[in-house]
């Protein structure tokens, strides 16, 4: 194995560049390094202006999602050596405005997340002074969706979001379904109102890229199909029982 | 320069901040609350906490036992009024999290499950598999979206503004645009977490740079017990990634190079097949980390490419239990060490993990500086004393986050908004400082990363698990030199948009200030207590040091240390006993 590898990093400054360009750096090729370690090496030793997000370096904070050699990944858990002899191409996530270099602007997601009401909705105003009982089986119905770390890899991989930025998108829909399936929640009706609109769930064409790239084995594609089914059932119910099927 | 104003401003967006923000909105919805954080709130380091949150729930458990475990775990440096408030309020707080949707692991009957944890005599640690911090943070963040909070995401606070005798807001840089924001507030609550990045090997995220501690210290609020630095006994060697204590609570064993459970040689009890409360692998973190150093000195650790390690053995737990209770441990080992704990032992070493010290507050989170509050790891409310027990910190952020929020709300309802003119003057002074000393600076000679690494290795060598007067004094001399060198850092990045080099430079400034306070407090505490072990003063000295270190910045910029007595209510200082003898540990307290 060679002892160095070339990294081609997308650079873009809103102050001076009309469009992104690539810059090459040569970094040590170490067996235990992740792609993030290579970026940190560049930042610390070669070029202090390289701009990217990172924090926990243990795959849980969701900051360091990028496109590495054409594929969405968390760079803190992507081994560098697998790309030897290189070069390795590192780009910002797709479909988002670029704030600078590898940093995308994810304001849109936060607005969408809020829109799907990702919290427990209850009809009783005062919660009980004890826990809501929930069996391990009930927990298991939504648990995988609650593992979403909001890393945005799925939005970058989603061709529908690429074409229609109004699409609510995989992570927000998975989190909506996480609450819909939670035995403690009574907010399905509220969420249906939002998500049954045309740019809610119906845009999804079941390509499944979102579930492919998810680093936490969340299955947003499944969430969206489950939700479509529920929405259809509720729609029929509203005809059969117009006084309130929800 | 952009200006805005709020009744209450949270600095930081982790668990403590979000709990505080929700508390304010609940107690007085008319108050305007804002959260300013250098990362999106769900990126905050709360996300990395794994094992759980302690709170009495079992029928066979009592609040007094939780209090006693916490106080003895902290080597009697905890304020006992604070501990009593804590153990009393935490079960209710954990239930609220449950009501808000936190996916706590459950028993078959649907009730919340609890697990054992280090230094705890009963099962009282609530958990969400081994991603407890992650689930708590996302539950709090998602719940916070229902409330009318203003968020300044990715906005880096550079200065706490003080006018007369009161805090009047902050100056911050909006990272996306580089715009300076002057945010006026009646009350500011610091919830910026810890400062692990002072050290080279730490479980802490890149963002844990002691910002709030340094901001408060520079604004003349004292820091407390800064010498009390926790090393977690089981971090991964190269990355410092945390392997949760829950792995030992579930039955994991620590063995040396001979496969011997060495903890039995260090007054931590006799090895049993099943985990025993307050014994062996379930001893407190300070004692386990210290045992590692002793074992290394005996030549019984294992040499690795990143220093000595011991082994954490989970193999006998079996794949099913590991997947159910410790999925993240398995995932981390596979990804970062190329090791599957189902079949292989995990190499681990002690790494810096937590600051017991922080901004000095009373039990409502108030600091001596009017209008300034603090909660969570950034604060020192004196819950954790000289050594925090695992699973008390996720609980601490809830109880004291909420208390700080309520206290700040009450204060903000009574005082007028700070007047605009002095605030604007403070803001433009700070804007000028950022421009001249950083953004437009040319010709520096010191690389930020070089200086940062030098600081980290100095701190590890001088103020690590064992310390002496000589090691601390040498480190203090070097850090003072680095403060000078810092003035000559070189800035290559002069752009406004998302300038992470500017952030790194400002963070390094914070880290150096925090490092200085750690060393001064450690130098002057001439005793050994909990996580602070002085080989030149190996015993606890209750006559002189049953007291908190308070460190303030003097007018010439040097740290000055004074002492504040520990509050004792019902548990007079006793001997810390772990191992089988400790099964009746609580009784000597009454």
Residue-wise pLDDT for B369-410, tens only, equals: 999 999 999 999 999 999 999 999 999 999 999 999 999 999
Which one is predicted more confidently, B482 or B443? B482
Across the interface, of B42, B100, B492, the residue whose CB is closest to A120 is B100
pLDDT confidence tier of residue B583, bands split at 50, 70 and 90: very low
Q: Is a pLDDT exceeding 60 seen at residue B38?
A: yes
Q: What would be the CATH architecture of the domain defined by A107-240?
A: Orthogonal Bundle (1.10)
Question: Residue B584: is it exposed, middle or buried by C-beta count within 10 angstroms (0-12/13-18/19+)?
Answer: exposed
Chain B residues with CB under 8 Å of A62 CB are 42-43, 47
Give the C-alpha separation, B499 to A100, whole Å.
9
Find the residue in A nearest to B43 (Cα): A61
pLDDT confidence tier of residue A244, bands split at 50, 70 and 90: very low
Per 3-state DSSP, what percentage of chain B is helix, strand, and coil (rounded to 5)?
40, 20, 40
Chain B residues with CB under 8 Å of A13 CB are 495, 497
In this complex, do A130 and B48 lie within 8 Å of one another by their Cβ atoms?
Answer: no
Q: Is a pLDDT exceeding 70 seen at residue B482?
A: yes
What angle, 0 to 180 degrees and rounded to 10, lies between the N-to-C axes of helices B132-144 and B15-27? Answer: 30
Across the interface, of B104, B146, B336, the residue whose CB is closest to A119 is B146
Find the residue in A nearest to B306 (Cα): A32
The number of C-beta contacts closer than 8 angstroms across A and B is: 155
Can you tell me the ipTM of this complex? Answer: 0.96
Q: Which CATH class is domain B231-353?
A: alpha beta
Find the residue in B nearest to A144 (Cα): B103
Q: What is the pLDDT of residue A126?
A: 80
Q: What is the pLDDT of residue A193?
A: 84
Percentage of chain B lying above the pLDDT 90 cut: 97
In this complex, do A131 and B111 lie within 8 Å of one another by their Cβ atoms?
Answer: yes
Does B89 sit behind a cis peptide bond, omega within 30 degrees of 0 on the bond before it? Answer: no
In this complex, do B336 and A77 lie within 8 Å of one another by their Cβ atoms?
Answer: yes
Percentage of chain B lying above the pLDDT 70 cut: 98
Chain A residues with CB under 8 Å of B335 CB are 59, 77
Calculate ∠ Cα A33-B456-B16, nearest 5°. 90
Q: What is the pLDDT of residue A228?
A: 87
Q: What is the pLDDT of residue A206?
A: 82
**Closest CA–CA distance from residue A58 to any residue of chain B (Å):** 7
SS3 B562: strand
Whole-model pTM above 0.90?
A: yes
In this complex, do B492 and A49 lie within 8 Å of one another by their Cβ atoms?
Answer: yes
In this complex, do A51 and B109 lie within 8 Å of one another by their Cβ atoms?
Answer: no
Q: Is a pLDDT exceeding 80 seen at residue A184?
A: yes
Q: What is the pLDDT of residue B584?
A: 43
Q: What is the pLDDT of residue A242?
A: 56
Question: Which runs of consecutive H residues, i.e. helices, occur in B219-316?
Answer: 246-249, 285-297
**Mind listing the pLDDT tens digit for each residue in B275-319?**
999 999 999 999 999 999 999 999 999 999 999 999 999 999 999
Q: What is the pLDDT of residue A234?
A: 80
Across the interface, of B43, B101, B241, the residue whose CB is closest to A62 is B43
Chain B residues with CB under 8 Å of A59 CB are 331-332, 335
Q: What is the pLDDT of residue B587?
A: 38
Across the interface, of A61, A119, A132, the residue whose CB is closest to B205 is A61
Average pLDDT, chain B: 96
Mean pLDDT of B210-215: 98
Mean pLDDT of A201-208: 84
Other Cβ atoms within 10 Å of B204 Cβ, number: 27
- Classify the phi-psi angles of B193: left when phi > 0, otherwise alpha if psi is within -120 to 50, otherwise beta: left
Chain B residues with CB under 8 Å of A132 CB are 98-99
Q: Where in chain A is the domain with CATH 1.10.1060.10?
A: 107-240
In this complex, do B48 and A58 lie within 8 Å of one another by their Cβ atoms?
Answer: yes
Q: Is a pLDDT exceeding 50 seen at residue B590?
A: no
**Closest CA–CA distance from residue A231 to any residue of chain B (Å):** 23
In this complex, do B449 and A44 lie within 8 Å of one another by their Cβ atoms?
Answer: yes
Give the C-alpha separation, A107 to B573, whole Å.
53
Residues of B that are catalytic = 232, 248
Across the interface, of A62, A134, A184, the residue whose CB is closest to B42 is A62
Find the residue in A nearest to B196 (Cα): A56
Length of chain A: 246
Chain A residues with CB under 8 Å of B201 CB are none
Across the interface, of A49, A61, A150, the residue whose CB is closest to B501 is A49
**Closest CA–CA distance from residue A146 to any residue of chain B (Å):** 8
Find the residue in A nearest to B207 (Cα): A55
Q: Is a pLDDT exceeding 90 seen at residue A144?
A: yes
* Backbone phi and psi for residue A117, each to the nearest 5 degrees, phi listed first: 55, 65
Name every residue whose Cβ is closer than 8 Å to that of residue B269 and which is 6 or more positions away in sequence. B263, B276, B278, B279, B280, B283, B578, B579, B580, B581, B582
In this complex, do B335 and A118 lie within 8 Å of one another by their Cβ atoms?
Answer: no
Other Cβ atoms within 10 Å of B439 Cβ, number: 19
pLDDT confidence tier of residue B588, bands split at 50, 70 and 90: very low
**Closest CA–CA distance from residue A107 to any residue of chain B (Å):** 10
In this complex, do A119 and B335 lie within 8 Å of one another by their Cβ atoms?
Answer: no
Asked which of B302-306, B353-357, B482-486 is least confident by mean pLDDT, the reply is: B302-306
Give the C-alpha separation, B34 to B117, whole Å.
35
**Mind listing the pLDDT tens digit for each residue in A212-240?**
999 999 999 999 998 888 888 887 777 77
Mean pLDDT of A109-113: 96
Q: Which CATH number fits domain B433-545: 2.70.98.40, 3.40.30.10, 1.20.58.100, 3.30.565.10?
A: 1.20.58.100
Find the residue in B nearest to A148 (Cα): B138
Find the residue in B nearest to A49 (Cα): B493
In this complex, do A184 and B99 lie within 8 Å of one another by their Cβ atoms?
Answer: yes
In this complex, do B239 and A57 lie within 8 Å of one another by their Cβ atoms?
Answer: yes
In this complex, do B109 and A114 lie within 8 Å of one another by their Cβ atoms?
Answer: no
Mean pLDDT of B451-455: 98
Closest CA to A218 of A143, A155, A113: A143
Mean pLDDT of A74-103: 97
Q: What is the pLDDT of residue B585?
A: 42
Q: Where in chain B is the domain with CATH 3.90.700.10?
A: 231-353
Across the interface, of B131, B143, B497, the residue whose CB is closest to A100 is B497
**Closest CA–CA distance from residue A93 to any residue of chain B (Å):** 16
Q: Is a pLDDT exceeding 90 seen at residue B340?
A: yes
**Closest CA–CA distance from residue A104 to any residue of chain B (Å):** 10
In this complex, do B134 and A110 lie within 8 Å of one another by their Cβ atoms?
Answer: no
Give the C-alpha separation, A148 to B537, whole Å.
49
In this complex, do A13 and B109 lie within 8 Å of one another by their Cβ atoms?
Answer: no
Q: What would be the CATH architecture of the domain defined by A4-104?
A: Roll (3.10)
Chain A residues with CB under 8 Å of B448 CB are 44, 48
Give the C-alpha separation, A144 to A140, whole Å.
7
Which one is predicted more confidently, B585 or B342? B342
Q: What is the pLDDT of residue A196?
A: 79
Find the residue in A nearest to B44 (Cα): A61
Chain A residues with CB under 8 Å of B26 CB are none
Contact A128, A168 (CB under 8 A): no
Mutate to test the interface with A, among B47, B133, B507 (most CBs of A within 10 A): B47
Across the interface, of B40, B110, B497, the residue whose CB is closest to A135 is B110
**Closest CA–CA distance from residue A45 to any residue of chain B (Å):** 8
**Mind listing the pLDDT tens digit for each residue in B516-575?**
999 999 999 999 999 999 999 999 999 999 999 999 999 999 999 999 999 999 999 999
In this complex, do A59 and B331 lie within 8 Å of one another by their Cβ atoms?
Answer: yes
Q: Is a pLDDT exceeding 80 seen at residue B581?
A: no
């Amino acid at each position: 194995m060679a002892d160095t590898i070339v990294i081609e990093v997308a650079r873009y400054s809103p102050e001076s560049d009309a469009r992104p360009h690539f810059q090459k750096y040569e970094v040590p090729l170490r067996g235990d390094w992740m792609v993030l370690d290579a970026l940190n090496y560049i930042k610390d030793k070669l070029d202090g202006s390289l701009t990217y997000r990172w924090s926990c370096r243990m795959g849980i904070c969701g900051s360091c999602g990028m496109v590495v050699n054409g594929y969405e990944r968390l760079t803190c858990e992507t081994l560098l050596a697998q790309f030897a002899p290189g070069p390795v191409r590192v780009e910002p996530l797709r479909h988002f405005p670029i704030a600078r270099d590898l940093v995308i602007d994810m304001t849109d997601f936060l607005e969408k997340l809020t829109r799907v009401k990702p919290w427990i909705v209850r009809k009783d105003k005062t919660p009980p002074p004890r826990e809501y009982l929930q069996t391990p089986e009930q927990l298991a119905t939504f648990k995988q969706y609650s593992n979403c770390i909001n890393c945005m890899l799925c939005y970058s991989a989603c061709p529908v979001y690429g074409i229609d930025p109004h699409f609510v998108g995989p992570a927000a829909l998975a989190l909506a379904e996480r609450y819909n399936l939670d035995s403690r929640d009574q907010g399905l009706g509220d969420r249906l109102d939002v998500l049954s609109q045309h740019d809610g769930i119906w845009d999804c064409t079941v390509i499944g890229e979102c579930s492919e790239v998810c680093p936490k084995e969340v299955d947003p594609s499944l969430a969206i199909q489950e939700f479509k089914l529920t929405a259809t059932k509720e729609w029929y119910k509203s005809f059969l029982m117009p006084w309130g099927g929800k | 320069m952009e200006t805005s104003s709020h009744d209450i401003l949270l600095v930081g967006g982790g668990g403590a901040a979000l709990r505080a923000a929700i508390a304010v909105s609940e107690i007085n919805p008319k108050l305007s609350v804002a959260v300013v954080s250098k990362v999106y709130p769900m990126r905050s380091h709360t996300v990395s906490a794994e094992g759980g949150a302690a709170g009495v729930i079992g029928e066979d458990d009592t609040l007094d036992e939780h209090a006693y475990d916490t106080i003895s775990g902290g080597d009697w440096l905890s304020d006992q009024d604070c501990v009593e408030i804590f153990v009393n309020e935490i079960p209710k707080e954990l239930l609220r999290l449950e009501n808000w949707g936190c996916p706590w692991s459950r028993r078959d009957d649907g009730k919340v499950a609890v697990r054992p944890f280090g230094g705890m005599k009963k099962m009282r640690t609530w958990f969400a598999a081994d991603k407890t911090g992650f689930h708590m943070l996302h539950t709090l963040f998602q719940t916070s979206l229902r409330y009318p909070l203003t968020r300044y995401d990715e906005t880096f606070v550079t200065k706490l503004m003080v006018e007369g005798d009161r805090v009047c807001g902050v100056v911050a840089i909006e990272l996306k645009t580089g715009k300076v924001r002057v945010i006026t507030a009646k009350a500011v609550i610091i919830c910026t977490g810890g400062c692990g990045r002072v050290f080279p090997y730490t479980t802490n995220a890149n963002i844990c740079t002691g910002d709030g501690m340094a901001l408060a210290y520079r604004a003349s609020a004292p820091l407390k017990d800064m010498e009390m630095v926790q090393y977690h006994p089981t971090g991964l060697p190269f990355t410092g990634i945390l392997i949760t204590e829950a792995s030992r609570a579930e039955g994991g064993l620590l063995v040396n190079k001979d496969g011997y459970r060495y903890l039995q040689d260090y007054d931590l009890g006799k090895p049993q097949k099943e985990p025993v409360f307050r014994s062996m692998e379930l001893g407190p973190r300070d004692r386990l980390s210290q045992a590692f150093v002793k074992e290394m000195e005996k030549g019984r650790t294992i040499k690795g490419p990143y220093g000595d390690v011991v082994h954490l053995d989970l193999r006998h737990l079996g794949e099913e239990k590991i997947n159910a209770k410790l999925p993240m441990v398995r995932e981390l080992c596979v990804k970062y060490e190329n090791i599957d704990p189902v079949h292989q032992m995990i190499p681990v070493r002690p790494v810096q993990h937590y600051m017991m010290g922080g901004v000095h507050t009373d039990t409502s989170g108030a600091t001596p500086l009017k209008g300034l509050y603090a909660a969570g790891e950034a604060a020192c409310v004196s819950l954790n004393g000289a050594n925090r027990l695992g699973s008390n910190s996720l609980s601490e952020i809830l109880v004291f986050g909420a208390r700080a929020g309520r206290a700040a709300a009450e204060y903000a309802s009574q005082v007028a908004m700070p007047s605009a003119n002095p605030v604007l003057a403070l803001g433009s002074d700070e804007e000028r400082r950022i421009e001249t000393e950083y953004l437009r600076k040319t010709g520096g000679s010191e690389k930020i990363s070089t200086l940062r690494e030098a600081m980290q290795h100095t701190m590890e060598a001088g103020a690590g698990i064992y310390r002496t007067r000589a090691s601390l004094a040498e480190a203090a001399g070097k850090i003072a030199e680095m403060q000078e060198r810092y003035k000559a850092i070189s800035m290559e990045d002069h752009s406004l948009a998302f300038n992470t080099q500017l952030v790194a430079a400002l963070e390094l400034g914070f880290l150096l200030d925090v490092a200085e306070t750690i060393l001064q407090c450690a130098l002057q505490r001439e005793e050994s207590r909990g996580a602070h072990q002085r080989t030149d003063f190996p015993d606890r000295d209750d006559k002189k040091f049953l007291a908190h270190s308070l460190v303030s910045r003097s007018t010439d910029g040097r740290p000055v240390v004074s002492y504040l007595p520990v509050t004792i209510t019902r548990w007079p200082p006793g001997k810390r006993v772990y191992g089988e003898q400790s099964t009746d540990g609580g009784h000597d307290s009454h």
